[in-house]
């Protein structure tokens, strides 16, 4: 393991910022640390970089315990949300800065600066000052400065958050390319699930200072371990149901029943479960009735035209509202419709995971 975080706990005053967080990064891996603002992501980054001494827990870099080492003795480079290029140094001097701290020959430094400026396609701006660069160029130079000393781990702390959508996607592609080319072990911290899913090999999803799930983006999206992960990784409809029959699974949603033939439940009949299903997986059934998929009936309460699709809100007799995505012209509000619920796309949570 290149980076191991184990049992990390930290408090600010009486407020717990991070509680017993453990995860690790294999060599060359890019891992997304994802969670809403205030979930403790930045505390973790600061603890790894050494700008904060955690109340408990250990940080290991290439097997060495660095928890009590100052930042300059860890090989962990950080790129912050706001640019931190040195305004009194040129682009080349900024990139060389981290190299000069190490005992490297001048000619080798020049060479490494050149290589890293080529990596970010800015070799021609070597003598420019940061103030002369555009926002996206500054970000790329920061990446080059962070990468040039060949750190054990690259920490990207919300590097895209302050940027426009088009610049953001361009830089996201650049980060992906550079990470593949250099193979640097990278922890990518973000609150944006689209950025995380597009870049990361694996995701560590955080909520309120604790880990809510760790897995590949696809596994977390398709089989979220907790309701929080289900709704944080994309839009999700939650419907409360009661187990009628554990196997084959039959659920009661108010007066209606939902039969999920290939599923079984480890909860007994009568237990409450929360069912999550994504709006894109729901469809409005045609009226021919030859369909055998499980369905729920309700009335269209509201339609939003999103340009590329319609969001159809359907209120069930239980007063819960589910959103169904639809490309074709939707039925008007008030219409009674049947919502097809594909059994394989339904994730169920018992009461024990519902709070997480």
Partner 1 sequence: MRAFDPRRLRTPTRFVPALLGGVLLVHFVVPFAAFLSQTGTSNVVAGLSAPPARSAIRNSLLTAPVATLFSTLFGVPLAYALARTSVRGKRLIEGVVVLPLVVPPVVGGAMLLTAVGRFTPLGRAALAAGLPLTDSLAGVILAQTFVAGPFVVVTARAGFGAVDERLERASRSLGYGPLATFWNVSLPLARGAIVAGVVLTFARAVGEFGATMMVAYNPRTIPTRIWVEFIAGGIDAIVPLALALLAITVVVVTTVQRLGHLPTVVDG
**Interface positions with a copy of itself (CB under 8 A):** 36-37, 164-166, 191-194, 197-198, 216-218, 220-222, 232-234, 278, 280, 304-308
Residues of this chain, 87-146, that bind partner 1 according to CB under 8 A: 87-88, 97-98, 101-102, 145
Ramachandran sector of residue 159 (left: φ over 0; alpha: ψ -120 to 50; beta: rest): alpha
CA–CA distance, 140 with 122 (Å, rounded to integer): 8
Closest Cα to residue 227, out of 62, 349, 340? 349
Burial label, 91 (beta-carbon count in 10 A; 0-12, 13-18, 19+): buried
Per partner kind, with CB cut-offs from 5 to 8 A, the member of partner 1, a copy of itself, none near residue 289 is none
* Binding site partner of 308, from partner 1, a copy of itself, none, Cβ cut-off 5-8 A by kind: a copy of itself
Q: Which does 234 bind (CB under 5 to 8 A by kind): a copy of itself, partner 1, none?
A: a copy of itself
Among residues 59 and 203, whose Cβ is nearest to a copy of itself?
203
Pairing type for strands 64-65 and 56-61 reads antiparallel
Q: Smallest distance, Å, CB 123 to a copy of itself?
A: 24
Is the four-CA dihedral 206, 210, 211, 212 of positive or negative sign?
A: negative
Between CA 5 and CA 9 the distance in angstroms is: 10
The one of partner 1, a copy of itself, none whose footprint includes residue 198, by CB under 5 to 8 A per kind, is a copy of itself
Q: Pick one of 68, 108, 180, 264: the residue that binds partner 1 (CB under 8 A).
A: 68
H or E element in which residue 46 lies: helix 41-49
CB of 70 to partner 1, least distance (A): 6
Does 71 sit near partner 1 (CB under 8 A)?
Answer: yes
Chain mean position to CA 81: 16
Pairing of strands 30-34, 202-207: parallel
Q: Give the one entry of partner 1, a copy of itself, none that residue 217 binds, where binding means its C-beta sits below a cut-off of 5 to 8 angstroms depending on kind.
A: a copy of itself
Residue ranges that bind partner 1, judged by CB under 8 A: 49-51, 68-74, 76-78, 80, 82, 84, 86-88, 97-98, 101-102, 145, 149
């Amino acid at each position: 393991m290149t980076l191991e975080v184990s049992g990390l706990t930290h408090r600010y005053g009486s407020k717990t910022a991070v509680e017993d967080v453990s995860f690790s990064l294999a060599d060359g891996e890019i891992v997304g640390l994802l969670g809403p603002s205030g979930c403790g992501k930045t505390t973790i980054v600061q603890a790894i970089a050494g700008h904060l001494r955690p109340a408990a827990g250990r940080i290991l870099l290439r097997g060495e315990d660095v928890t009590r080492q100052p930042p300059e003795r860890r090989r962990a480079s950080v790129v912050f949300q706001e640019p931190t290029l040195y305004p009194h140094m040129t682009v080349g001097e900024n990139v060389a800065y981290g190299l000069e701290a190490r005992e490297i020959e001048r000619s080798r430094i020049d060479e490494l600066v050149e290589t890293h400026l080529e990596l970010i396609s800015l070799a021609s701006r070597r003598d420019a000052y940061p103030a002369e660069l555009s926002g996206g160029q500054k970000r790329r130079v920061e990446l080059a400065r962070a990468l040039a000393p060949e750190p054990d781990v690259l920490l990207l702390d919300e590097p895209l958050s302050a940027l426009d959508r088009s610049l953001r996607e361009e830089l996201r592609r650049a980060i992906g390319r550079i990470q593949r080319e250099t193979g640097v072990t990278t922890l990518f911290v973000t609150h944006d699930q689209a950025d995380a899913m597009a870049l990361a090999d694996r995701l560590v999803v955080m909520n309120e200072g604790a880990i809510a799930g760790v897995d590949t983006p696809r596994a977390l999206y398709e089989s979220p371990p907790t309701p929080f992960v289900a709704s944080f990784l994309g839009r999700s409809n939650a419907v409360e149901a009661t187990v009628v029959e554990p196997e084959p699974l039959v659920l009661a949603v108010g007066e209606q029943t939902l039969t999920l033939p290939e599923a079984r439940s480890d909860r007994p009949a009568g237990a409450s479960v929360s069912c999550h299903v994504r709006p894109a997986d729901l469809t409005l059934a045609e009226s021919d009735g030859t369909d055998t998929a499980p369905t729920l009936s309700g009335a269209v309460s509201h339609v939003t035209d999103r340009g590329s699709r319609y969001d159809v809100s359907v209120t069930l007799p239980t007063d819960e509202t589910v959103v169904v995505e639809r490309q074709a012209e939707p039925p008007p509000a008030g219409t009674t419709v049947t919502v097809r619920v594909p059994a394989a796309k339904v994730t169920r949570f018992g009461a024990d995971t519902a709070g997480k």
